[in-house]
A and B are shown apart, each in its own frame.
Chain A
Amino acid sequence: MVKAKFKVINVKGIHARPSAELVKLTAKYKSEIRFGNGHFEVNGKSLLEVMKLGVTRNGTLHVKANGEDAKKLVSAIQRLVEVDNFNE
């Protein structure tokens, strides 16, 4: 199991389009993935669930991945959230 926390710095937080970016990414990997907001966690391959998290700007995204490509997946998420700013 790989765990990580990322700070969300894009302007509007994880609203629909960034959620969609996240889910598009997780769908490419075999590992199971859970996202959390500090209160509850959800299936990281479900857009409806990820939108429910409601992580806003400067909030924290908790990540738990489990599976053969878990490490790669988490570092790809790190890139998307902290470096590429959800491709905004």
Chain B
Amino acid sequence: MKKADEIILEGISLSKGIAIGPLFVYDSQKVSLKPIKISFEAIESEISNFKTVLKQVRKELQIIKKNVQEKVGEQKAQILDVQMMILRDPELHSKVEDKVRLQRIKWDFIFSEIMTEYHDSLLGIKDSVLRERAFDVHDVKMRVLKRSSSLIPKDTKFRDGAIVVAEILTPTELIDVSKAKASGFVTDFGGVNSHLAIIANALGFGGISGSGKLYSKLANLANSMAILDGRVGKLIVNPTLESLKNYQAEKIKFKRTQTLFTNQRLEEASTEGGISINLSLNLSLETDFHLAKKFNAQGVGLFRTEHLLLDKADYPTEKTQTEIYKKLAKHCFPYSARIRTFDIGGEKLVGNFNLPTQINPSLGWRGIRISLEEIEVFKTQIKAILRANTSGNLEILLPMVSKISEFRKAKELIEEAKEELLQKNKKFNPEIKVGVMIEIPSAALTADIFAKEADFFSIGTNDLTQYTLAVDRSNNLVSDIYTPTHLAVLRILKLVLDSAKKEKISVNICGEMAGNILTIPLLIGMGFEGLSVSPSSIPTVREVINKTDLNLLKQLSAEVFETTENEQVRKILTDFKEEHFKEGLGD
């Protein structure tokens, strides 16, 4: 088969970023709504329905505005004011109400028609700045219609890394597309001043605008391979091998400078070699939340919620949990806090819960395995997290996941929880990152699959070690062969790290290895950039990090990976410690 020729198309840069992937072309304009007749008696409830939905969307925007304000500043948040004012617009309200009364049709269809009229009349204005605002109208329309019953949802089922092509893309859609793991976007509308461009930049999501010219050219090139250079507004379809190679290198270079830039803004524990380490805390108790600030940690990498069950006869209510998680979010802000859902069973302590006695609890019914069967308990916890996440810094961490279907099922339940909150009119933040605890070898060895769907990894080295080596560390007869520095464990760690880096998701280590003076240098040398440790380990870790040179650590890691004997690994690490940290840092 003859390869298609390379096509180079020019557009306007909306947001810097380089993407390489297949084109996914979709028609975002298509709103499939049916005019549904209602009875005379239903008119008033239909109108109050309309008002309620608009009020809900306004509340949602208020939350988003707060988040945007904190992330990108007051001025950009004002854009959302315009959208909130549209939702309160007296003309809009009276037009919709009048038409519902007169035509006796469900409000969503009428609302959509009226908003489309406004959108089209703004598009007809000659002035380009004003024309941009047609977007905000379209975006408000889509936000509202997403909640209407007669709407057929638009699919985002493209391949990971796809470059999305749409005639019009609203900021809300952009966020959805970016979350669905697209790598870049092309749209025909939207200039450098647009709300879309601002959001894309905030997301670090590369995109170009075709000024009404690109969409029609790309419509029949779906699935073709393409390179998007958001820096100069260029799109290369069917790139030659040479172009691909060039851009793969450019992409890595670009990513590196971006990372460097972001890290400069934070005061972080950093090694002399210029790499920054994210140092966060492992916490179990509500009374310890204040330690995050006290130790100047970058948030909480692991909050073990099963400790909330200690001495309790029943699971805490949604309300109780919401309050606790809110407090956690507040203490960590502006850094994130990862809440691990209940991991009862195994060796872990539980209160007076009626769990069946298991011969081998570590390999038994625990963690996500319980959550996926005790669905209401799990959803209650998720709802509490979503409701507590008003400042947007909470994340969900799922324990004991051994296969991707468990993760997918959990994600489904999270969506259900959101739906239920919505139905009950509860205020919550629908945006949340969901990550996987990598602690079972089967998950670690398929980390490449998880990395495509999870938002982050946390590696629990304690369990990972005992499952990999088949050693129960609480059993004195074998505990001496429990070695986290076993070459098998280290190779697995490397594998997980590589998978995470490939998909650009964050990965941190939250087992004891991350706080051990022998293993910290090795982990950093291997390329780990996130460590989550117990409060008592913080000063040690920080000192180790600040005292060493990244190049030395890389050499150390290389040396370790060259050995074939497990005993040798410990010796290399001990020698390194003796040489560099003589002054009595705790082991």
Contacts and interface: CB of A to CB of B under 8 A. Distances in A.
Interface of A: 12-17, 19-20, 23-24, 42-43, 45-49, 51-52, 54, 56
Interface string B84-117: 0110011110000000000000000000000000
Given A13-B130, A15-B129, A20-B81, A52 B122 contact: yes
7 contacts: A12-B129, A15-B130, A16-B79, A16-B133, A47-B82, A48-B86, A48-B118
B129 A13 contact: yes
Nearest to B115: A48
A52 B121 contact: yes
A47 B85 contact: yes
Contact of A56 (B82, B90, B122, B127): B127
A42 B82 CA distance: 18
A18 B322 CA distance: 40
Contact of A46 (B82, B92, B127): B92
B125 interface: yes
Contacts, number: 60
A46 B129 contact: no
Most-contacted residue by chain A among B91, B92, B130, B133 (CB, 10 A): B130
Contact of A48 (B91, B130, B132): B91
Interface of B: 78-79, 81-82, 85-86, 89-92, 118, 121-122, 125-127, 129-130, 132-133, 136-137
Contacts of A52: 118, 121-122, 125
A48 B137 contact: yes
B85 A51 contact: no
B89 A48 contact: yes
Q: Name the 8 nearest CB pairs between A and B, nearest first.
A: A46-B91, A54-B125, A16-B133, A15-B129, A47-B85, A12-B129, A48-B118, A15-B130
Contacts of B86: 47-48
Given A12-B129, A13-B129, A15-B129, A48 B82 contact: no
Contacts of B136: 16
A46 to B, nearest CB: 4
A46 B130 contact: no
Given A13-B129, A47-B86, A51-B118, 14 more contacts: A14-B130, A15-B130, A16-B130, A16-B133, A17-B78, A20-B85, A45-B90, A46-B89, A49-B89, A49-B91, A51-B122, A52-B121, A54-B125, A54-B127
